[in-house]
Every structure is written in C-alpha cells, then in structure tokens.
Amino acid sequence: MADGQRFDDEVLITLLRRLTVESDRFAEMFAEVHGVHRTDMNALAVIMDAAKAGTPLSPTALAAALNLSNSATTSLLDRLERAGHVERIRSARDRRKIELRMRDQARELGIAFFAPLRQELLAAWRDLPDDHRAVIGRFLTTTIDATVTARGRFVEP
C-alpha cells in the first residue's frame, strides 16, 4: 500500500516538517539526558566546527553565532568550563582576547550524541544506489538554499 503513494508538494512539505520536528526532539532529549541546555549543545557544536576548521573561537564570535548577548555568553562559558567541556585560554599576542578550546570530554559527548542516530541513518540508507543518492543530495541542497533564501526575505524584503 505504501508504494503507491503520490509524493506531491504537500506531502513533501509535511515530511520535511516532521523531519525537523523529530530532529529537534532528538536533540532536546539528548540534552536533557545529559543535563545540559539546548544552548550549550549549540555552543559545543559551533566550537567543534571552529576547531575542525582550525580557527580558534572567541567568546564574542560565539555570541554572534548563537545570537546571544556577550554577558549571556560569559555565563554560558562559565557553565561549560565548570562542567569541564571547554577551556578559556588568554591569547598570548592580544591579552584581551580569549581563545576557547574544547576538552576531549566534550568531543566524546558529541560522538555519543551522534553515534546512535548515525547508526540508524546508515542502516536506513544501506541499500541506496548512487543515482538515488544523487537525487536526494540535490534535493537537500536546493531545499537548504530555499530555506536560507526565505530567511533572507524577512530581514530585507
């Protein structure tokens, strides 16, 4: 019965909405289980991305990325430092600046976060042939672009 379904625009939009809602729930549940806030998870993700890119992150840059005030970012970093996820290091060249370094603990938390989801996703996609992956990849890319564009429309319509 399932295979006969027509995937018109409405159905795709509904599926997209369900996907984002479920992803959100997953992240929220994970944060709750591990006793951290959603904001903290997002902050760790930003810091981790910066570490991957080799760019040491500053509190101000983090605040901008999270759309958060500087003062709120200070207490966020207090929390993360107290929990042992992050280290504040005064820059040697400009001693006003602070560089944020992740501790291994946080990296392990990130892996623990994604491992179960990752495993399920890989299993779900195991039999996808390359041409289907190409279709899906282009779909995701254009959909991401559309979302970004739609957000831009609000800021400067």
Cα 102 to Cα 81, 85, 86, 108, distances in angstroms:
9, 6, 5, 10
User: Which residues contact its own copies (rule: CB under 8 A)?
Assistant: 5-9, 11-13, 15-16, 18-20, 22-26, 28-30, 33, 67, 116-125, 128, 130, 132-137, 139-151, 153-155
For the bound state, the minimum distance from the C-beta of residue 40 to DNA, rounded and expressed in Å, comes to: 8
N-terminal to C-terminal alpha carbon distance within the chain: 44
For the bound state, the minimum distance from the C-beta of residue 65 to its own copies, rounded and expressed in Å, comes to: 11
Cα gap 41→31, rounded to integer Å: 7
Q: Are strands 98-102 and 86-90 parallel, antiparallel or unpaired?
A: antiparallel
Phi, psi of 23 (to 5 degrees): -60, -40
- Judged by beta carbon, residue 89 or residue 134, the one nearer its own copies is 134
- Judged by beta carbon, residue 47 or residue 77, the one nearer DNA is 77
Q: How many residues bind DNA (CB under 7 A)?
A: 26
**Interface residues with DNA (CB under 7 A)?**
37, 39, 58-61, 67-79, 88, 93-98
